[in-house]
A and B are shown apart, each in its own frame.
Chain A
Amino acid sequence: MNIDDYITSGILQNYCFGLLTKEEERKVEKICTDYPKVARELQLFRNALKEYSSHTKILNREELRRATWESIKKIWEEEST
């Protein structure tokens, strides 16, 4: 298999988008363990998507964190009673 062709085939992008079947995903993961170059490329795509998806910063971060933690605790209390 030509690794460069594989990298440019678009399959790694589809992997990141979650558009592959489970079987295809396994195959990509197998190739990643066999070819570090592919694994590196996949990681770059993943990082890019993660960066892209986290560019909106929460303004009231701490306030929300506290409120969220309180609601989680409430659920546990309800469950235990």
Chain B
Amino acid sequence: MTTINTFSSQQEIPTISFNTKKIIAKSMDAAKLVEMIQSKSEKGFDVLYNMYCDALYSAIIKIVKRTDVTDDLLQETFVKIWKHIDCFKPEKGTLYTWMLNIARNQSIDYLRSSDYHKQLLNEEIDLFSFKFDVIDTTKNNICQIEFADFKRKAKQLDPKYAEVIDMIFFYGWTHKQTALKLMLPIGTVKTRARKGLSLLKILYLK
């Protein structure tokens, strides 16, 4: 245990002001956001969309890996948020986690859907007909810019940490499920998740 998280203790405490009042202020903001959604105003939608669209978009694209599908799923996610806002229970977690869960479930549902399997089948047919460049040229596939962005960030965080964090945070898997999937001991998964997040914290402090 002692060797795992030496980062936070080594680190100098930054001079940002922080107190517990801030947490309370944050949850009040969440209540305000919920109110905004319930009010059904376009202004409320704009605020929330601008606040969370990038985060939800990244969560979805990490799972489905296609920009066109991600656009649709993001739309569906926001529709669901608006439709089911009354099901959000602040005592059960933050608004962001709740929204992330919706995005995640939509994406996983998509991967299980027949649409996705049909798409895979089409791509196989394309390959058989010797159109090898089809994957790079169709606009349906992952766009170059986003790919570059992933690469850039991946450089900062060692992939062995990133994959564990992605599985736990974006896919919502438990330590155990992640360990099975990656064929790693559960202890290693736990260590990498903790260490990865500690590294991220340092990366984003700069």
Binds A, one of B105-113, B114-122, B126-134, B192-200: B192-200
Which of B6, B157, B200 contacts A8 (CB under 8 A)?
B6
Q: A13-B197, A48-B203 are in contact. Are A8 and B79 (CB under 8 A)?
A: no
Q: What sequence of 0s and 1s flags, for each residue 139-161 of chain B, a beta carbon within 8 Å of any chain A beta carbon?
A: 00001011001100100010000
In the complex, are the beta carbons of A72 and B53 less than 8 A apart? Answer: no
Q: A36-B19, A50-B96, A56-B57 are in contact. Are A72 and B200 (CB under 8 A)?
A: no
Chain A: minimal CB distance from B139 (Å): 11
Q: A13-B197, A53-B170, A68-B49 are in contact. Are A43 and B18 (CB under 8 A)?
A: yes
Main secondary structure of the interface of B (DSSP, over half): helix
What count of chain B residues pass the 8 Å CB interface test? Answer: 62
In the complex, are the beta carbons of A19 and B55 less than 8 A apart? Answer: no
- Interface of B with A (CB < 8 Å)? 1-2, 4-6, 8-9, 18-20, 22-23, 40, 42, 45-46, 49-50, 53-55, 57-59, 61, 67, 71, 74-75, 78-79, 82-83, 92-93, 96-97, 100, 143, 145-146, 149-150, 153, 157, 165, 168-170, 172, 174-175, 190, 193-194, 197-198, 200-201, 203-205
